[in-house]
Structure 1
Amino acid sequence: MAWTRRTLGAALFSFGLLMGTGAADLSLLGVRAEAASLKELRIGYQKTGLPVIARQQQVIEKALAPEGVSVRWVEFSAGPPLVEALNAGSIDLGWTGDAPPIFGQAAGAAITYVAALPSNGAGEAVFVKPDSAIKSVAELKGHKIGVGKGTSAHNLLVAALEKAGVDFKDITPVYLSPPDAAAAFASDKIEAWAVWDPFFAVAETRYKVRVLATTDKTLDVKTYFLANRGFAAEHPQEIVTTLGALKQAAGWADSHRDKVAEALHEVTGVPLEAQTLAANRTQFGIEPITPAIIESQQATADRFFRLGLIPKKITVSEAVWTPPAGN
């Protein structure tokens, strides 16, 4: 019955907000029926950040090997399709920015927050080409901006416009996955682009872009490690072990900054020059979900509801995982 509920939830969750985000092919990923013991942990990741380092270092694989658990990594271009896969039960854990879990919770996704990581910071921006007549966020009024709907960059764009006194209705958001937005930006079908590393870093190296706003100067937010809700209830110790391994990977990254870009490049195939830019401005770490973090995330959710970007008001704390006692 639990498997049936997940499958039904996946169908309900494939809603309009994910249009253009390039969801992973769930038929290829496969949905796992409930099992008493875990044999394979499936982790969703993107082309940058701590999960990539953890994969390169194989710290999670090593931590779970004594329990007979293997690890499968599933790549996504953005957070919304990763959240969709979590809801469907086709992955167990995954890392996204601040906005995707809010859109997911508003849609009834079976997800839970299990840990917080630093924000995308200086590695997430709204920018234009260097020859653009647009010199500031305020001047985006009336223009087309490429952004992934329900992504952390969506939140940055909303907040930057609000800070500049521009109504979100006064711009034309063009909802595209990062690869599609890259093509649109290259061909001038959009006039500005809001996105995170390594896509931002690739654009910087290719076009020498003019940055209008970055997350670190606009928002006080986190990124998040999420779990399928049923998985979190059934396998709490595996989550604790995984978080411990991620903490180990964060420690390695902070003490081996010279090797981080090479590690990111090795796993993702993104050009080394771009990954070097991304690595130099990435903060590594992992921490529990605190009341202050929940309050900040709630403020984002309330902003989205006020602007009509999510269909209902949500309570973020209702989607926060409680670790087992002693952890």
Structure 2
Amino acid sequence: MKTLSPLRRSLLLAVALALTPYLAWAASSASAAPAISDAPKELRIGFQKSSVNLTLLKQRQALEKQLKGTKVTWFEFTAGPQMLEALSVGSIDFATTGEPPPIFAQAAGSGLVYVGAEPAKPAVSAILVKPDSVIKSLADLKGKKIAFQKGSSAHYHVLRAVQQAGLQWSDISPIYLAPADARAAFERGSVDAWAIWDPYWAAIEQSAQPRVLATGKDLVNNLSYYLSSRSFAEKYPQIIHLLFEELTRSDNFVQTNRKEAIAAIAASTGLDQPTISAYLTRRPRSPVVYLTQSMLEDQQRVADNFFQQKLIPRQINVRDAAWLPPAASPAIAARN
């Protein structure tokens, strides 16, 4: 049997000690809940590295412990548009993204529905430039190449930045790239700026110290929306409610046990702890709630802006894709 070095033993012990409160909480938080009378045989969940609440939920296996007859399967995606493509074709049942992906999906005819949301997080995205870049203000973006994921929260961030600067969309050169490709293009100087969200922003912040041209503050809200197919939501409202309960429980742990949460998220995502710490510092309390009137109005404004700029093919009514749980559901009332 191979003997561990003193240094490796110390590191493993440190990780174990850091995760001990998290593991104890994970074991206790999934125990007491009313039984769900009707559950699917499989629950397929899409998430991203930015999905803090889902990442913790996946790691502590609360759903697996409560839904004994349900196979819970997790799928990681690099960004929201790719995730909603999977949701639209029935490859997953539940997902979370920023504001634009469901707008682009609805405009393309997808049957997905909004089932809930987390509060605004304007500080978790940024438009980045190199430290020595000649770009000093948003107006300096005129004529420049800006990399970002098409149809993502970064897409809307760039649109609002252009508008704030008094420019037209045609004044910039959008370079549509997924986060990893956009980072590579940014680092080698193939683009002038990069619009991105956490934890990708936090990761390059730790290694390359780019200059922040503008965060989302005063430009975008950066709400996180939870989505499903209408058929799944209508058939399994108790599952949606259980998800919201457990996701909010994950957020409570992030707020009250920050060091342990950082260690758990780092272990799950493969990102280092300084990156996770930087991201969580910018992330506010994020309980999961059902849709509100103000959320629908905010999302409609985003959709209208995209349509007015001819960035989506048709005008949409966000309310057509909104779902709320049955008001008289005894099971949901019991869980409340």
Q: How many Å separate the matches in 2 of 1:108 and 1:37?
A: 28
Deviation per CA, 1:218-259: give whole Å up to 9, x if none.
123411011122211222221111111111111111111222
Task: State the SS of the aligned residue for 2:238.
Answer: helix
Q: How many Å separate the matches in 1 of 2:73 and 2:198?
A: 23
Q: Which residue of 1 aligns with 2:169?
A: 168
Q: TM-score, normalising length from structure 1?
A: 0.85
Task: State the SS of the aligned residue for 2:217.
Answer: helix
Residue 277 of structure 1 deviates from its aligned partner by: 0.7
Q: How many Å separate the matches in 2 of 1:39 and 1:253?
A: 30
Which amino acid counterpart does residue 163 of structure 1 have in structure 2?
Q
Which amino acid counterpart does residue 203 of structure 2 have in structure 1?
V
CA contact (8 A) 2:153 2:222 kept: no
Q: Which residue of 1 aligns with 2:184?
A: 183
Q: How many Å separate the matches in 2 of 1:200 and 1:92?
A: 28
Which amino acid counterpart does residue 40 of structure 2 have in structure 1?
L
Task: State the SS of the aligned residue for 2:147.
Answer: strand
State the structure with more CA Rg: 2
Residue 100 of structure 1 deviates from its aligned partner by: 0.2
CA contact (8 A) 1:59 1:249 kept: no
CA contact (8 A) 1:64 1:238 kept: no
CA contact (8 A) 1:184 1:190 kept: yes
Task: State the SS of the aligned residue for 1:200.
Answer: helix
Q: How many Å separate the matches in 1 of 2:124 and 2:222?
A: 13
Q: Which residue of 1 aligns with 2:63?
A: 60
Deviation per CA, 1:38-85: give whole Å up to 9, x if none.
1121100000222112222323333323xx223111000000010100
Number of residue pairs the alignment of both structures matches: 290
| Structure 1 segments unaligned to the other structure (5+ residues) | 1-35
Cα-Cα RMSD: 1.4
Which amino acid counterpart does residue 54 of structure 1 have in structure 2?
L
Q: How many Å separate the matches in 2 of 1:119 and 1:84?
A: 24
Q: Which residue of 1 aligns with 2:295?
A: 293
Q: TM-score, normalising length from structure 2?
A: 0.83
Which amino acid counterpart does residue 112 of structure 1 have in structure 2?
V
Deviation per CA, 1:95-146: give whole Å up to 9, x if none.
1001000000000112100111123421211111111111111111100000
Q: How many Å separate the matches in 2 of 1:222 and 1:110?
A: 21
Residue 260 of structure 1 deviates from its aligned partner by: 2.3
Percent identity, aligned pairs only, is 42
Deviation per CA, 1:275-299: give whole Å up to 9, x if none.
1111221122211211111000000
CA contact (8 A) 1:64 1:241 kept: no
Which amino acid counterpart does residue 67 of structure 2 have in structure 1?
L
CA contact (8 A) 1:125 1:214 kept: yes
Q: Which runs of 4+ in 1 moved over 6 A?
A: none
CA contact (8 A) 2:53 2:248 kept: no
Q: Which residue of 1 aligns with 2:18?
A: none
CA contact (8 A) 2:291 2:324 kept: no
